Structure 1
């Protein structure tokens, strides 16, 4: 859907044991415990008093261990004008007596039996029937990601309840808010033959994302239901979807759940490449998702933007989903296939379409989104950084340089040196449309220039690297000269809209290195004072003059803001702590609502899904905190291709401990840290073939630091020739070789 209109195994026992062994222990430290048992009578998702235990990360994993799941409860059983005979719980299986649904023939008065799978799921549903009337009614299943938008009243979802009771909608042409619902475009029909019962009837079509499934009947007769299950078709190449390669755990239960909900959201968006949606549907056409993503390997997965819809690959969404995948499941084939399919769509002038060109609707948007060309470049940079796949980089290097040539040609049209997409007709964004000379898109392009300089150096093209670096410096200066408002202390939306200071502009200026330390602090302070509201941080202040961006909650730039807050040099810790508070507020709020396991596409100012029943509630671009918690809070980032170089720079932000494992091409990097009353302790185990930086935060104090028991920093200077420096916020130890290391900072 147009963004301006709507929007591999498990870790080895050895690694787990190593992490348990390196967890700091002592009078103030939590005790290390063994890995969690296979079953949990209570856990973080069901017990409000649950306390995280070091080493015990598996209870947080939402993904199933296999590819068959069953509902966990009956949400409701409503006879309406028919009957529900027997115990509705029989539909969960294991009962000697089935539940009978009886209809008088009027589908608008059919009994409704709604089952709750307990979390977002997707695939092909199967209903086991013990029997049916000689002439059976047609059995339908409706799906919804939430109770709020499961159509059950005549007015719901623009009249959907009269056709598809219990459904939200995945079809823009019949179910978009405000469009009258004129035919059943969303329920799935299960064909049954009474002569073959008892037996299961299985849906012929997948339903990409739902939590609730509602059975209803069309026509007179009855069916006896004694079981419902789902072939879980997300992540089909992952034999054990719960077998994560990477993980995160901290002293904060809510943040832990946020990490795993982000990982699960991306898994819910990962499907075979021939399960895309092709819009528009013809009048009367039922819901289906069986189109091939152009240029994608049909035998491999791709990562769609949303599980329910759009079910196509988008550049901007992939910018979040790819690093989440690198850090959790390690499903690199899905990332490669997705990115390659988008890359192959590049036009002759270098412009790269934002989305998979599946169907007329998407083909009509071929040049809509100039912003997404910057994400195309960024996605390839991130791929190289996390995977170190030089052959993949070399394959697509000509496409990257062509895309940069197109972006630079757009910038060259402005005598003042900024990009605007009016002339190219590409003004669409992730959530709005604006043709001005904006901070947001220019900051993204400045980051591209830095990334291309690094990639060019890695490929031995020093002159090209110098050109990109010089352009980056000039562009950052132009942004600051024209778009920084020193009086307000924030970046403007654009030259054309100077009195609006949006979230995306200020967060990306920090993350792209446009803002210096003082500007970064002031920009974050501005957003906190003006944009923070009941559910998180709004796109613009409610008091801002009317602009292209209305006040709403957008998970994509909210993720940028949370990351930017942790990136601000902060002697007091308040700004970095506010990054975690933003996560708890906004993502914690989404967790408190349906589907309670995956992230929304957007939310309006009232805190409701931003486009009502059409909103995707399993949208991977909202999973930014999963990356931020690993990269910044745990502190593990690649600094060289494929983690050949790495940095471990923790951002405690008020947490008392954190630990985790980061998969790399060389093996896992295992990290554990603890904030102690009189200092800080960091443990890291890194694989052969890597070297890097370890850092301990000073928290505004003068500290001495020992590395593996040897004094390397005396509070002011490096000791014994150690490669150690400090900027007042951290003490950095460089050139650390592979192996197990302990760094301990002691307050002086």
Structure 2
């Protein structure tokens, strides 16, 4: 009886929370998996079967990594080892022979270390004991900088830089990072037009995945032509993507294409004795759930929001990519907008950091990110935004040296005036716009440069680098000073576009002016001047890409012009829907007709009809209509300023690191449920508002505030 009780007692100890086995995860050198995965993904691009790799430098992972962690065990334990690569394992510097799959770590204080070499994959380890487990607290390096002298004595000093290990969600020993794949599910076409030797399939909307031929048999050729539009799928000579197969099998089999494609329509043509039972697709996706949401009284806006959500999901893959048909690359300017949309829909931080790390790559820096000057600067600004929304200091502390070296590259490329000007190898992009000059010192680049330097100052303070914080702040002040002394034109009430040979041009464009508004670089008088003389001025060249419409409409929202923006969203994004869009495009010009809408880059179907930057209503509606935004990092404090923008009511959620903020606003009442930190509801009312759950404070004439506490709900009766 005593033996049975003892066994039960031990079993209870083992399964109780205090004695439960800790969860191990695969770990690697931080940033290396992201770089390796990015290289694999970006080199899948083809056009009509031709391999098209990126045209910028691709870095590689470190192939020899040292992992270690110190443990203090109350009793010895058995530890299982799973490793990607060749390795040795040591306890307190003493190596085991061979490649052990299991070791015993004695009781007491011990250092467990593994050194791993792997060329074709990222060196990674999964260590599973009861307490000895691999996780992000392990330290890693790619060079240990230690040596042994002629007496056999190991060095007693080292200049090694140890970082915390990188990890994601690989929590199964049998699914290492190298086996990562996106999820798939099989879908059928909604319509099939079958003729002799051909099938034209319509999957009902823009989609992405692998085409699967079921019951394929016979001998002959199968040619597959993909189209985001019906016209593209039928244009067998000029469609962007294809697959060509030679079949010599008499026995029926299923055949899935090797590479994913973007399409709505698929034109399958076959000859000889080839036959097939059916054609389906494996839809490929990253399983990440929506946390944010938006609904309002206008059904067209609701439809636009839904299509924007679908567009973002299609472009949220291993990374945030530009578009699913053509490039399928990681572009920093495109990604910068996807991050912002993500904060209002998914709040998936790993997708943000994976993308930022893949873009940054390794030392040495030899060119701008994607070779584009503005895209390097967007990378810095994205870190600024990431910290505001997530409060993730650990990311900044880990990768601050990579930020510094990239900024050093930018600083080294300043001209004699201390400003950025395109040098050999620099692509100054700004936007796709006919006749847009990139010559000289462009004001838009200086504005992004100033914000990037402010980001570096912020990050320097986080890592307690006071001297560089002072340096970056001074540089930012200098650039901002030159921006206004050199580019502000009083007669035009705007920043001019550029200086050439030190002389300001007379040209006014929207770019620098609209960014200066939501960067809060303008005083109130200048903001109103820019609004009237630039943003609402039809004589200033219009913007035709959703890319820069994103920022133009943000500037107008920041100026309180939501009613105007509502109309613009309905006209612009609604215009794409009226043309049958099921996802939003890379570019939309209402003046174009018919198949002109599909052409770009000198190609009949070069335009992407599913581009991440087309999904910006997610961000605009979340930040400027629901009105939720952090005022200190990670929503420790935040603002809620609901704006109807001419709508009768709005209703939605905005995700934060610690729950969702719910907002409902109509012409009679506001309903709020708080989340992380402390919120401030700010609104205008013509009469004194009533809120039974909290005090309503009068800020000034017609402007009121209510403090919103975490998890509490509030109802305010008011009259806007």
**TM bin (shorter chain):** 0.5 to 0.7
Aligned equivalents of 2:319, 2:509: Cα separation in 1: 32
Does 2:222 match 1:195? no
Using the TM superposition, give the Cα deviation of residue 557 of structure 1 relative to its aligned residue in structure 2, in angstroms: 0.9
1:584 equivalent in alignment to 2:570: yes
2:239 counterpart residue number: 168
**Alpha-carbon distance, 1:146 to partner:** 1.6
Deviates more, 1:511-520 or 1:455-464: 455-464
Distance 1:410 1:692, change over 3 A: farther
Partner SS state of residue 659, structure 2: coil
Pick closer, same or farther for the CA change 1:427–1:710 going to 2, 3 Å.
Answer: closer
Q: Shift of residue 576 of structure 1?
A: 2.6
TM-score by length of 1: 0.65
Q: Which residue of 2 aligns with 1:694?
A: 681
For 2:714, the equivalent position in structure 1 comes to 742
Give the aligned partner of residue 630 of structure 1: 622
Say which of 563, 566, 574 aligns to 2:557: 566
Q: Which has the higher contact order (CA 8 A, sep 6+)?
A: 1
Counterparts in 2 of 1:425 and 1:125: CA distance versus 1, 3 Å: closer
Aligned residue among 436, 440, 445 for 1:436: 440
Distance 2:652 2:555 in 1: 22
What is the CA-CA distance between 1:426 and the residue it aligns to?
4.5
Contact map agreement 1:342 1:353 (CA 8 A) in 2 = no
What is residue 554 of structure 1 aligned with on the other side?
Answer: 545
Which digits, 9 at most, give the CA deviation of each residue in 1:15-60, with x for residues without a partner?
xxxxxxxxxxxxxxxxxxxxxxxxxxxxxxxxxxxxxxxxxxxxxx
Matches of 2:380 and 2:342, distance apart in 1: 18
Q: Provide the residue aligned with 2:391 in structure 1.
A: 388
Match of 2:647 in 1: 655
Structure 2 gap ranges (5+) = 1-51, 56-181
8 A contact 2:324–2:610 mirrored in 1 = yes
Residue 636 (structure 2) aligns with: 644
Shift of 1:743: 5.3
Instruction: Output one character per residue of 1:89-143: Cα deviation in whole Å (capped at 9) or x when no partner.
Output: xxxxxxxxxxxx34xxxxxxxxx432111111111111334x75xx533222211
1:143 aligns with 2:226: yes
Is the Cα–Cα contact under 8 Å of residues 247 and 274 in structure 2 kept in the other structure?
no
Q: Deviations over 1:57-97 (max 9, x none)?
A: xxxxxxx99722221123x55xxxxxx2xxxxxxxxxxxxx
Q: CA deviation at 1:567?
A: 0.3
User: Do residues 347 (structure 1) and 364 (structure 2) align?
Assistant: yes
1:596 aligns with 2:582: yes
Residues matched between the structures, number: 531
Let me know the Cα RMSD of the aligned residues. 3.3
Question: Structure 1 residues 188-197 or 608-617, which shifts more?
Answer: 188-197
Matching residue within 445, 451, 454 for 2:455: 451
Contact between 2:54 and 2:329, CA under 8 Å: does it hold in 1?
no
Q: 2:651 and 2:183 mapped to 1: Cα distance?
A: 23
What secondary structure is seen at the aligned counterpart in 1 of 2:272? strand
Quote the offset at 1:210 in angstroms. Answer: 1.1
Select which of 508, 517, 526 maps to 1:510: 517
> Partner of 2:303 in structure 1?
257
SS in 2 for 1:590: helix
Say if 2:421 is the partner of 1:420: yes
Contact 1:684 1:742 in 2 (8 A): yes
Residue 340 of structure 2, aligned match among 323, 339, 356: 323
Relative distance call for 1:125 and 1:531 in structure 2 (3 A) is farther
Provide the rounded CA distance (Å) in 2 between the counterparts of 1:681 and 1:552: 35
Give the counterpart of 1:681 among 670, 677, 690.
670
Tell me the equivalent position of 1:128. 214
CA contact (8 A) 1:691 1:737 kept: yes
Q: Cα–Cα, structure 1 residues 192 and 245, in superposed 2: closer, same or farther, change >3 Å?
A: farther
Aligned-partner SS, 1:614: coil
Asked if 1 retains the 8 angstrom alpha-carbon contact of 2:323 and 2:611, the reply is yes
C-alpha distance 147-338 of structure 1, shift in aligned 2 (>3 A): same
CA change 1:325–1:216 in 2 (3 A) is: same
3-state SS in 1 of match to 2:652: strand
Are residue 71 (structure 1) and residue 192 (structure 2) matched?
Answer: no
> For residue 233 of structure 1, what is the aligned residue in structure 2?
284
Deviation of 1:229 after TM superposition, in Å, equals 1.6
Distance 1:711 1:641, change over 3 A: closer
Query: What are the superposed Cα offsets for residues 205-243 of structure 1, whole Å, 9 maximum, x if unpaired?
Result: 221x111111112x4345254x332111132xx1xx6x4
Q: Equivalents in 2 of 1:557, 1:696: separation in Å?
A: 29
Which secondary structure does the structure 1 equivalent of 2:499 belong to?
Answer: coil
Task: Check conservation: 1:681, 1:696, Cα contact below 8 A.
Answer: no
State how far apart, in whole Å, the 2-side matches of 1:453 and 1:665 are: 24
2-structure distance, mates of 1:400, 1:384: 14
CA distance in 1, matches of 2:267, 2:375: 38
Secondary structure of 1:487's match?
coil
SS in structure 2 at match of 1:613: coil
Structure whose residues are more often strand by fraction = 2
CA distance in 2, matches of 1:223, 1:3: 37
TM-superposed deviation, 1:640: 2.5
Give the alignment partner of residue 688 of structure 2, picking from 697, 704, 727: 704
1:599-635, Cα deviation, whole Å (9 max, x unpaired):
3256586372443411122111232221111111111
Distance 1:73 1:710, change over 3 A: same
Deviation at 1:665, TM superposition (A): 2.1
2:272 to 220, 245, 248: 220
For residue 307 of structure 1, the aligned residue among 312, 324, 331 is 324
Alignment of 1:290-305 (within 5 A): 301-305=318-322
* Gaps in structure 1 of 5+ consecutive residues: 5-63, 78-83, 85-100, 103-111, 153-160, 170-185, 272-300, 356-367, 533-539, 542-550, 718-724
Segment of structure 1 superposing worse, 475-484 or 316-325: 475-484
Distance 1:342 1:125, change over 3 A: same
Residue 359 of structure 2 aligns to a residue whose secondary structure is helix
CA contact (8 A) 1:638 1:647 kept: yes
Q: Is the 8 A contact 1:446 1:512 kept in 2?
A: no
TM-score, with length taken from structure 2: 0.67
Match of 1:613 among 582, 593, 605: 605
CA contact (8 A) 1:70 1:229 kept: yes
Alignment of 1:275-286 (within 5 A): none
Q: 1:454 and 1:498 mapped to 2: Cα distance?
A: 33
2:490 pairs with 1:481? no
Give the direction of change, closer, same or farther, for the CA distance of 1:3–1:127 in structure 2 (3 Å limit). Answer: closer
Q: For residues 234-268 of structure 1, what are the alpha-carbon distances to aligned partners after superposition, in whole Å with 9 as ceiling and x for unaligned?
A: 32xx1xx6x42222222222222333322322221
SS at match of 1:205: coil
Q: Among 199, 203, 210, which residue is 2:263 paired with?
A: 210
Secondary structure of 2:667's match?
strand
Q: Does 1:520 align with 2:527?
A: yes
1:375, distance to aligned residue in structure 2 (A) = 0.8
Equivalent pair of 1:553/1:605 in contact (CA under 8 Å): no
